Structure 1
Amino acid sequence: MSTYKVRADQKMLERTAYVLKCVAHPVRISIIDLLEQSERLTVTQLQEVLQIEQSLLSHHLTNMRDKGIVDTQREGKNVYYSLTDHSITNIISCIQSCKIFNKQ
């Protein structure tokens, strides 16, 4: 009989896979990176940096909001996006330090 065991419970593993599936896109990882640098940003501010169509950006932001990764706050005509949990930005650090992602 093996002495090894899975170190996380099934519910945590399922939530982790759910979040990772959501952020597994270059635009979404870029959004996380940008929101780490600023407390909150509007769609216009994100669009200026990412240089993608507003409709595509909104699609990604809606998906991330629905999965609980970003939150929104309306102020007048502007909707501000922010990260619900800044520890998700550890994904960026992990990607940058992991050798498998740095192969050319």
Structure 2
Amino acid sequence: MKEHVMEMKIQDLDAAQLERAASMLKAIAHPMRIAILSYLEDGKKLTVTEIHRLLDIEQSTTSHHLGILKDKGVLVSQRDGKNTYYSLKHDSLQTIVNCVSKCSVNL
């Protein structure tokens, strides 16, 4: 049985919720961070090392971007031994990634 998810409208959000949403969107609004989110689609979990290799950027730069995304509630991390795996905090964030991908093609 499919769970019904009630769609919220912007006018249904209070000031604090709007502030959190804006903060998350600001965190996402960077080319490298959008790329990171695209690699974490479909429930994928990746380490800093895996992400920095995919993006071909320094590991310290990758860690910086991951820290911002985690701090703003976009990503979560889970420690497993020596590795920390990052994933999308909310499945619905994938909708934003899909939208950005589709919209940028038509620019």
The interval holding the TM-score normalised by the smaller chain is: 0.7 to 0.9
Q: CA RMSD in A?
A: 1.9
C-alpha distance 23-7 of structure 1, shift in aligned 2 (>3 A): same
Q: What residue is the counterpart of 2:69 in the other structure?
A: 64
Query: What is the one-letter code of the residue matched to 2:92?
Result: S
Normalising by structure 2, report the TM-score: 0.79
Distance 1:95 1:29 in 2: 8
Distance 1:68 1:92 in 2: 15
Distance 1:45 1:58 in 2: 11
Identity, % of aligned positions = 46
Normalising by structure 1, report the TM-score: 0.81
User: Which stretches in structure 2 are left out of the alignment for 5+ residues?
Assistant: 1-9
Q: What residue is the counterpart of 2:106 in the other structure?
A: 102
Distance 1:11 1:101 in 2: 33
Q: What residue is the counterpart of 1:93 in the other structure?
A: 98
- Higher Cα radius of gyration: 1
What secondary structure sits across from 2:18 in the alignment? helix
Query: What is the one-letter code of the residue matched to 2:85?
Result: Y
Shift of 1:30: 0.8
Distance 1:58 1:97 in 2: 27
Shift of 1:38: 5.1
The runs of 4+ residues in structure 1 deviating greater than 4 Å are none
What secondary structure sits across from 1:72 in the alignment? strand
What secondary structure sits across from 2:77 in the alignment? strand
Aligned length: 97
Q: Could you tell me which of 11, 26, 37 is aligned with 2:16?
A: 11
C-alpha distance 76-91 of structure 1, shift in aligned 2 (>3 A): same
Q: What residue is the counterpart of 2:31 in the other structure?
A: 26
